[in-house]
Chain A
Amino acid sequence: MIAETGHYALVLALALALIQSTVPILGARLRDGALMNVARSTALAQLLFVALSFAALVMLHVTSDFSVVNVFENSHSLKPLIYKITGVWGNHEGSMLLWVSILALFGGLVAGFGNNLPISLRAHVLAVQAWIASAFYLFILITSNPFLRIADPPIEGRDLNPVLQDIGLAVHPPMLYLGYVGFSISFSFAIAALIEGRIDAAWARWVRPWTLVAWIFLTLGIAMGSYWAYYELGWGGWWFWDPVENASLMPWLAGTALLHSALVMEKRNALKVWTILLSILTFSLSLLGTFLVRSGVLTSVHAFATDPTRGVFILLILCIFIGGGLTLYAWRASALKQGGLFAPISREGALVLNNLFLTTACATVFIGTLYPLALEVVTGDKISVGAPFFNLTFAPLFVPLMIAVPFGPMLAWKRGDLVAAAQRLLAAGVAALVAIAMLWAWTGGGSTLAPLAIGLAVFVIAGALSDLAERTGAFRTPFAIAARRARGLPRSTWGSAFAHAGVGVALIGIVCETTWNSEHIATMRPDDVAKVAGYDLKLDGLTQAQGPNFREMVAQFTVTLDGRRLAVMTPSKRNFTTRGSSTTEAALLTRGASQLYISLGELTGDGAIAVRIYHKPLVLLIWLGPILMAFGGLLSLSDRRLRVGAPKPAKAMRGLQAAE
């Protein structure tokens, strides 16, 4: 009954989406307010029914109803409750249902909070949103119905892939989808603007918060996924340039470019045509990512579903939306008027440079990901494009970009003064040089590249700080005045400082981890001691343990530093009987921002075990950076100037601040 209810709710959501995709457009043509307002109620009703459908699937998984194929194939009655819930989106059908749920959520949010939008724009945006939704409802209902029943229900399920039985699955896919799907809003806004043939600075102001929300989630989603891979896959890597990772990186790069170009459009009414194109491209890349992951066209660590009919269907959706979007763009964009002029050396100029490098980086990831597929289709030759290719082509693009980052906020709009900006960045430059010199001396000239890269990162961080110092007049004016100015600074200024500093922090982590990572591979017996980066790790012994749906072998290590006992680490290997597969649970010991990492290998015949121990200096900065970026995004989002068109809040905000 629950399954049928869920299925029916999904069909109703499709029906509502079909109404939402036609009636409001008609209303806009006829200038009929009532018809246009249909968009709002259908979007909210659609959200309700999709939520019902999703809740039904969760319910089926929680109650282990094995008469439903999806539950049978991906669940097990002994699985802990949390994994029963997360298992809902740990498979193809469920993850697509999550996808449309989030799409409906964003549609509902626009409907609920879009009161400031002109009514025809809102009608168009929601209609475009419903086109996307209809396509994906059809996809789910025709090719990937999660509510299919089995005639002869089995007693026990097949269990979820053990690699996915981790807290990472609870957070990573929903975050990623909130990001991916969130960009549908900027897409819908762009298409709506093209249909209406009107676009102005206000448009950018409406789009920017939505883009920012999507970007924050995508940033956190990618970082979370990277950390998950780092501790779960057991060889301490955190980015593999795997096609599935690239699929999420491409919309992120395009989305970051979009955030910056929308800023120019909002403030200076320039780059309109480009911003529209970026909005279309960003969501197109999200769709491409969905296609790559969900169609099984790639054979990669992440792709668990393979079925050609689905692939063709998504490819069709992809062609319709990307092709349609770009055609509409080609047809209507020339009608859009160019905005304000600016000199090459200006804030706008810096943001254009940012866009040039980010889109080139995005194009590099794009070609590297798709080239092997295309070549195989065209010539039949198989080639591989992996980490060494990307490290060589992608990384160099970030050097000029990161040199430019601190200059951007220092330049004035319209016409900037590069010399003055450079003078204000003098302190940051000195800090970078000192960092380089110190590292050089400390490492004894071992690696030349690493100190330079860290110097660059220090420059970016110090640059972000000097921007704040400049604006508050810190070090020049008395502390009280500077502090008052700091409070008065727009939140978006703090936001961009945090986000830019986050980039630098992540770079430090990446460089330190890749350059000064120590590794120890050995076969150890109980009471053997391994020495890694000054730490002594003694293997105390091996024990067997029984988990809820697995058996595990646990090794216990005692970690000492200079004779002082620090901690006990317990890496393990788990065997999942239902699927007959095993996972490696690495043990991590965090010391400041650095980590010790132990992962177990095979047991040899005579009671010894293969062990890999890593010391990863400052590795946590790799993920602290994105968290800072997301926090910066959040600060920007809370800037009241982004909350559109409300005439009253300005006063209310002052009142609130005074009360503090």
Chain B
Amino acid sequence: MRKLIAISFVVWMAAFAAPSARAVQPDEIMADPVKEARARDLSRELRCMVCQNQSIDDSEAPLARDLRLLVRERIAAGDSDSQVIDFLVVRYGEFVLLKPRFERQTLLLWLLTPLALAGGGLALWMHGRRRAKSGAGDDRSEPGLSAEEEARLQRLIAVEPPPENPA
């Protein structure tokens, strides 16, 4: 792992030293438009490891170009989409996936949204039932006015113009 980070760092430095190359270069594009479309879709799911949260499809780093070419090489060799992904994960680790797989260590990540929604909904339902049971609205339980507010209220009432007739 540490070695990978060290390598990444070197490549990252190189990426900055080298003149920038735009994402997806004309010479990378595959002849078969269907395969090219697959390559593009896959590229969007893969992270350029030396960049800051960019997919290899967006990135201009040389490493991203290498990965794009690698993806296209695998597709040309007849790999299915999942085979290409597996190939890259074996070589570069889970870090390469922008959409982490559903595994033990990403359980919370994936389940939080449905759990929050279900939990929130349940809490609301229980709360509603409890309040409905406890019966009459407690609008009476308003905090009383402080002496200062009473005085201010009196002042306001004193200057309040008579209510206008509704038009």
CB of A502 within 8 Å of the partner chain: no
User: A299 and B52 in contact (CB under 8 A), knowing A337-B138, A338-B138, A381-B105?
Assistant: yes
Interface size of B in residues (CB-CB distance below 8 Å): 56
Q: With A and B bound together, what is the CA distance between A382 and B53 in angstroms?
A: 13
Chain B 104-127 against A: per-residue CB contact (8 Å), 1 yes, 0 no? Answer: 011011101100110011001000
Q: Is A269 an interface residue (CB 8 A)?
A: yes
Which stretch of A141-149, A169-177, A352-360 is in the interface? A352-360
* Interface membership of chain A positions 315-358, coded 1 if the CB is closer than 8 angstroms to chain B and 0 otherwise: 00000000000000000000001111100100000001000110
> Which B residues between 1 and 20 are near A, CB-CB below 8 angstroms?
1, 19-20
Given A118-B148, A356-B120, also A383-B95 (CB < 8 A) = yes
- Assess whether A240 is in contact with B54, with CB atoms less than 8 Å apart: yes
With A300-B53, A381-B94 known to touch, is A610 a contact of B99 (CB < 8 Å)? Answer: no
Knowing A200-B143, A371-B109, the reply to whether A356 touches B100 (Cβ < 8 A) is: no
On chain A, which size bracket covers the interface?
35 or more
Assess whether A243 is interfacial by the CB under 8 Å rule. Answer: yes
**Contact partner, B128, options A301, A337, A344, Cβ 8 Å:** A344
Q: Is the CB of A338 within 8 A of B94?
A: no
Contact partner, B149, options A118, A356, A364, A612, Cβ 8 Å? A118
In the bound complex, CA of A484 to CA of B109 (Å):
53
Of A105-113, A384-392, A551-559, the one with at least 4 CB within 8 A of chain B: A384-392
A599 B100 Cβ-Cβ under 8 A: no
Interchain CB contact under 8 A, A363 and B113 = yes
- How many angstroms between the C-alpha atoms of A153 and B132 in the bound complex? 73
B137 touches A385 (CB 8 A): no
C-alpha spacing A610/B156, complex, angstroms: 72
A18 within 8 A of B: no
Q: Take A235-B58, A356-B117 as given contacts and tell me if A384 and B95 are in contact as well, using a CB distance cutoff of 8 Å.
A: yes
Q: Check if B22 sits within 8 Å of A234, measured CB to CB.
A: yes
CB pair A337 B142 closer than 8 Å: yes
A360–B105 touching, CB < 8 Å: no
Q: Which residues from chain B contact A384 at a C-beta distance below 8 Å?
A: 47, 53, 94-98, 100
B154 is an interface residue with CB less than 8 A from chain A: no
- Contact partner of B21 (CB less than 8 A), chosen from A200, A368, A602, is A602
Please give, as numbers and ranges, the residues of chain B lying within 8 Å of A241 by CB-CB distance.
Answer: 53
Most buried by B among A368, A383, A601, A610: A383
The answer to the question of A375 belonging to the interface, with a C-beta cut-off of 8 Å to chain B, is yes
- By the criterion CB–CB under 8 Å, are A242 and B112 in contact? no
CB contacts (< 8 Å) of B120 on chain A: these are 356, 359-360
B44 touches A341 (CB 8 A): no
Q: Is the CB of A363 within 8 A of B44?
A: no
Q: How far is the CA of A359 from the CA of B98 in the complex (A)?
A: 24
Residues of chain B with a CB closer than 8 A to A363's CB: 112-113, 116
Please tell me if the beta carbons of A243 and B53 are within 8 angstroms of each other in the complex.
yes
Q: Is the CB of A602 within 8 A of B97?
A: no
For A382, what are the chain B residues with a Cβ–Cβ distance below 8 Å? 1, 93-95
Q: A371-B108, A647-B159 are in contact. Are A388 and B22 (CB under 8 A)?
A: no
Q: A521 contacts the other chain (Cβ, under 8 Å)?
A: yes
Q: For B148, list chain A residues within 8 Å (CB).
A: 118-120
Q: Which of A204-254 contact B (CB under 8 A)?
A: 234-235, 237, 240-243
Contact residues of A between 583 and 640, Cβ < 8 Å to B: 584, 599-602, 610, 612
Chain A 149-165, CB within 8 Å of chain B: the 1/0 string? 00000000000000000
A477 close to B (CB within 8 Å): no
Chain A residues near B20 (CB, 8 Å)? 582, 602
Can you show 28 pairs from A to B with CB atoms below 8 A apart? A199-B143, A200-B143, A234-B22, A240-B58, A242-B52, A298-B52, A338-B138, A340-B137, A340-B139, A344-B128, A359-B116, A359-B120, A363-B116, A368-B109, A375-B105, A382-B93, A385-B98, A386-B55, A387-B44, A389-B109, A521-B26, A523-B26, A601-B21, A602-B21, A602-B25, A612-B23, A647-B156, A647-B161
Q: Which residues of A are in contact with B by a Cβ distance under 8 Å?
A: 118-120, 198-200, 234-235, 237, 240-243, 269, 298-301, 303, 337-341, 344, 352, 356-357, 359-360, 363-364, 367-368, 371, 375, 379-389, 392-393, 397, 521-523, 582, 584, 599-602, 610, 612, 645, 647, 651
